[in-house]
Every structure is written in structure tokens, then in C-alpha cells.
Structure 1
Amino acid sequence: MEFSPDNRIVQLCMQGMHLEEAGKYEEAGKIFLQAWIEATNDFEKFMAAWYVTRRQTDETGKLNWYSTALRLALKLNDDAVKGTLPQLYARIAECYKQLGDIEQANKQQDLSLASVSVPSDKGPFYHGTRADLKIGDVLTAGWRSNYQPELVMNHIYFTALINGAGLAAALARGNGRERVYIVEPSGKFEDDPNVTNKKFPGNPTRSYRTQYPLKIIGEVTNWQRQTPEQLQQWRERLANNKGEIIN
């Protein structure tokens, strides 16, 4: 399933997160459980289970829900969720440790270390920008961040979701028109640590970064564009985001 902010389960999880930020933890727990009940596929159930776990007050409850999320993640075998496996195993290990089962805790910790892997996403990949480029050009690291202009980026970023690249183009600095290019990585790449296991478990936006050039092999013009109101909301969120960019 492709991640979408318009998805009902994603919206419920976001609603629960807002309640958590307001200190309304019991209400948040109810919303997360509602997301679990309404989930219609394994991806939605995986996401809902992750959040239900956050509101468990005892180790047994946490263990049960983390184990449920892990089972669903392994069943999905999808790049969007693989990034969460090390953290899931580590959290399950901590539950076993707190419950006094050191043997299982050590076993799960070993699985956590063993599950760290390089993304195997085959794309196609996209990069959103306002720069006017042509097929055969390459994109490289070393440019200033769109979100913190004083920061020179050590990586170049891209995504396997065309609408995500379209949003990046709309938010990019500059006066040129929004462009979404099809790109080809020339070297190894990794999950973008600025989004992986942050608000959502794993890397559901299939966002990546690389220190190697990206070659432009095409351009697309058709993607889901945000309304002016939605773009303003995104700009306000970015302006209010005080977290550091992992560079």
C-alpha cells in the first residue's frame, strides 16, 4: 500500500499524536485503538499496532502489541516497513528484559542488530525541485537545505513516491516552476533518517538519501498537487519545526 496523508488510518494516527502532544493520553489511546479496529489491510494494521503500543502501561501489553506489529511487518516484507525492524526487535528485547527473561532479551537484541540492512527499493525514484534541468544532468550534494538555508547538505534526497516529490518541489526555494524528475542513483543509498521511525514507523514515505550523484533520466508532469491552503499548512509546520536536520 502506498502511504497517503489522506488515508483514514493515517489520519486517525495523526489525530492521536496531536492528542498526545496536548497531554490527552487516554483519548489518544482510544483513537489509536479505533485505528486498529478500522484498519482494513496489513499495512494499516501494522501502523495502528505501533501506535496502540505507545499507550500501553505495562510491559506485557507492550510486548503483545510490539510482537503484533513485528509479525505484520515481517508478513508485509516491504521496504516501507523494513526500516522499523531493528527498532521493533530492540523494543521487544527491552520488554523481555523488564519481565526478567534475559535469554529472550538477548535473542531479540541479536535479531535487532541482524535486521539492519541497506534498502532494496527498486523505484522508480523521483526528485522534486524548481531547478530547470534536462535529461542526462546530474544532481549532487553540497547545496543549501530548502528548510534550513544556512545548512549545506551532505546528501541528495529522493523518494519512490511521485506525490512526495511533487510536494518537495512545491516547497523548494526559488521562483521556477515545480519540476519532478525521474532519477537514477549512481551509488548506494540509505533510508532518510530525518523521517524514518519519526512520526511514522519505518519509512512509509520511501524517502532516501545518497552521497552519490543522481542522474536525471526523465520528467513527469502529472502528480497530486496540494491546494494553496495545504501548502501554507506545510510551510507553517516546517517553520515551527525546531528539530535538527540529520545531515
Structure 2
Amino acid sequence: MTTAALQTVLTVPERFRGPAGVANGGWIAGTMADALNGNRSPVEVTLHAPTPLDTELCLEHVGNTVTLSDGERLLVEAFPVAEDLTAPDFVPFTDAARAESGFPGWQGHAFPECFACGLREPGDGLRIFPGPVEGTDLVAAGWRVPFTVADEDGVPASIVGAALDCVTGWAHFKPGESALLGRLAVQIHGRVYPGGAYSVVARATGREGRKLFGESAIYDVNGTLVAAARATWIAAR
């Protein structure tokens, strides 16, 4: 017996780039998580290869797996995760916004065009600039959600995934340093509202050779956990 596959076409607009010419990994992870289960439970997304922009890609749903392919080339896989994701501690919005002054990207940014953490114009990118929170092992940024990322149903999972992504890298990076996202597990607990103010928080959880590990969270101004993620990055050789 074979399981029928549901196939749809996904095209990533150029706006949602991470490194120049390829999709932001968090945007892809959020999209895949939403496609798999509509954000009802945690989903782990593995990025096997960079996702091209403005290209018709095949999104295929078979059983409890969703894949994204470019022709015969597998780009991304998503699977459900059994356990809830842990989250770094809450940082109040004012403290998170204050931490942005220490953002290493001000001194050197490998991917200044990145949709999530790049130096894009207000309303175009998310402009999440995490810096160290004094007296903690955390980095944080105050995220003011632009209305330009919302659709008719509010802020989609793809945007939430993007917000959770790069901050886990900046928990490791010094000015000019970079890595590529290899895996991101995403769990969305509540809605993100356009025009809202949120704390985006992350901490480094370890390193193993070229692999960098981190976890991140989005909190509303009252300290309610809105979303969490667990990331694995692959540093350049």
C-alpha cells in the first residue's frame, strides 16, 4: 500500500532572502511547520540545501512529513517533534531594546540583506538586531512588528520562523562572523500581531566542531511565551 502525496507549488519571493540569492532559513522553517500541522505542535525542519528565490518549488506532504524540492533535488524536510521546546528566559521589552546597541552586526555583518537581521529599510525587513543582555548569558532585541509582514489572517508562521532564526546565530557570532542554518525546530504558542512590540531572546546552548547550537523565544510585553525555537548552525570551514 502506498500513501498518496499532496503536492503544491511554493515560490519564495526575493524579499524573504537570508544570504543574498537564497531564502531565509527561518522563513522556510515557519512555512514548512505551518504546512505540516498548522502550528499545532513542534516541528523540526532540516535544511539540506539553500532554497532558491523566485523559483517554482514542489512542496510535498506525505504522512507526517513535508518536503520541499527543486526538481529531483531535496532542499528541506520537516517532521513533528514529540516534546515541547524549551525557551530562554523572558527579557522585558525595554531591556531587549536597550540590548540592541550591542548588536555585533553594527560593526560587521556577513549578510546585511537578510530579511530577519539585516540592515534593511524599516517595513521591508524585520530589523531584529540582538545584542547581549547585561548580567545574563542571553542576547535580545525589541521587535516592533511591521504591518507590511501581515496578511489577511495576521502575521504568518513564516514571519514568526524568521524572527526566531537569526537571533540564535547572534548568540554565538562576533562582528563579521557567520554560519548557515542547518536545522530549526519551531513551536508557536500564540499569535503575533502586526504593530505589536515583542522581545526576541536567545542563548547559545553549545558547540560541537562546526555545529553551533542555540534556542530562542518570542515573548509579548507581559512575558507570555508566544513562540520558541531550537537551532543548529553550521559554521564555515
TM-score, structure 1 normalization? 0.25
Q: Which has the larger radius of gyration?
A: 1
- Greater helix content: 1
What TM-score do the two structures reach when normalised by structure 2? 0.25
> Larger relative CO (CA 8 A, sep 6+): 1 or 2?
2
